[in-house]
Structure 1
Amino acid sequence: MFNAILLNKNEDGTTDARLTQLDDAQLPVDGDVTVRIDYSTINYKDGLAITGKSPVVRKWPMVPGIDGAGEVIASSHPEWKVGDAFVLNGWGVGEVHMGCLAQRARLKGEWLIPRPAGMSAKTAMAIGTAGYTAMLSAMALQEQGVSKDSGEILVTGASGGVGSVAIAILSGWGYRVVASTGKLAEADYLKSLGAADVIDRAELSAAGKPLQKERWAGVVDAVGSHTLVNALAQTRYGGVVTACGLAQGMDLPGSVAPFILRGIRLLGIDSVMAPKARRIAAWQRLATDLDAAKLDAITHEITLAEALSKARDIIEGKVRGRLVVNVNS
């Protein structure tokens, strides 16, 4: 038997989330690697799943947890053997396939990547999908020619997981980063991560003009809706905006003006189905380029039981940085 968070759908459509015990017979049969989970994490999507605030889960019952790190304990997959250290992000785990907010999981070997040498399971989950997505966004800016000399980089949703790690990565690369947040009391925290300036999210979150004063050479946006539209309207000629989140909304109530008059580029960043080679490249750069002290500063460890209440907190915007779940405590 092992501990796990289990989600069930009630007759009235609400979600029941509880800490319980499962056995191996309840693990999915469509997996060829059984793993011991040492650490998981709570992402925004996990918060939606546990609270039932959005129809993230499409198969019931479900163990949530889109991220996991630990070791292989059984495998029929040719690339994985007992004792191998792994990292998992995405692939519908925690949505259509039982996830990693548990002490054990059965997964497909093709979804796993080797944990970078010297990186602990806890560190991997302090990074998690949020940090991995931040790295994918930062890499995209670099690959599109946005250099540290191009101008300021805006990071929205800055006190969240993606935003916090994006600030740490980009400032570490020498970029001048401006953080947008609804929590101005967190300004000192954001500056400690490397933000050169902090602005109120209210400057971006309401409807604005299709074209505004040019400021940003690049943007990492985890918010969507009006915030993304205003960021586009303020991006300098030829600039690049990466979009990876929807904390404000899925809508894009904007104009084609920034694209056809300023030649800016909007890049979608998908972490769930990203190719394996792309994942490995991102994780290798996280292992070498992310300041360990800054990562520690944004990380808070919780127990598996605490994940239930923290899921609501993350949806309500009450969480700063990253929540790491020690599934064995």
Structure 2
Amino acid sequence: MQPILLSPAFKDYLWGGTKLKTSFGKKSDLAIVAESWELSTHKDGQSQVASGPDTGLTLSDYIQKHGNTILGKHAEAFNYFPILIKFIDAKDNLSVQVHPDDAYALKHEGEYGKTEMWYVLEAEEGASLYCGFKSSISREEFQRRIEDNTLLEVLNQVKVHKGDVFFIKSGTVHAIGKGIVICEIQQNSNTTYRVYDYDRRDAQGNPRPLHIQKALEVAELCPPAQIGNDTPPKNCGGYTVKQLASCQYFTVEKLDIASSATLQISKESFQSIICTEGEGSLTLDGNALRFQKGDSIFIPAQETSYSITGACEIIRSYV
């Protein structure tokens, strides 16, 4: 089973910009590209195969055609494709929001909850985001501050720089600030509960809906247990590997490749390769696949090795 290039689904949310087109080579007729869903089988936006004989198939149809064995043994623990990977360009502030855990989301939304991690690709001078609270507060205070528009006063605000890592466990109240571009690896879910949206209006002049009651039921009203990741990179000779996050839903690594790297894949899990800097070529079983900054590659689960040549930064994810 050869690796395949994927083309993303695009979202034009009102806070988005144009950096995914100008800096990451995304081709879209949309004036605003807030998000590109690079690895997705979600009903709200599917990736499509963009190389090989299956070009044009959605990722869901590709998996159905070749069978769930290409996802690997670890994916058997999930009822459907386990993760979703996207680029996000926040030209303006995103809403303050929270995602439910699996139990709540399955009961109320019919899909998994959403634990996620962010790797910062770009950050303008002074950019920041919110992650959890400065200190623990009561649910009554949380509701009152939502109602009187003082919620930002008690949220934990963090300055952001290129290369920063944030782990956002389900239940963590958060918001990406303007001037930030990230790569997000998350559970395969699109359930978001907004609690504050800067009184913005949509194209029809209507305020976007808030989900205060559900947010009150799922939010963890305390400082975040984990924000960044200080794990040092491992030098592998010609390239380095740094683990960015690892949890029950996904493991994410950043590879900085000077010229070449030989990597392993097993029957335990598929792998996602996202190029965030540079360009190169991925070769498996003698077949080479060229890629550049912004490209997404899916490698089916199998027992073999593959090589990457070229000076590039890679985000590798698996379950």
TM-score of the aligned structures, taking structure 1 as reference length: 0.25
Question: Per residue, is there more helix in 1 or in 2?
Answer: 1
Question: Per residue, is there more strand in 1 or in 2?
Answer: 2
TM-score of the aligned structures, taking structure 2 as reference length: 0.26
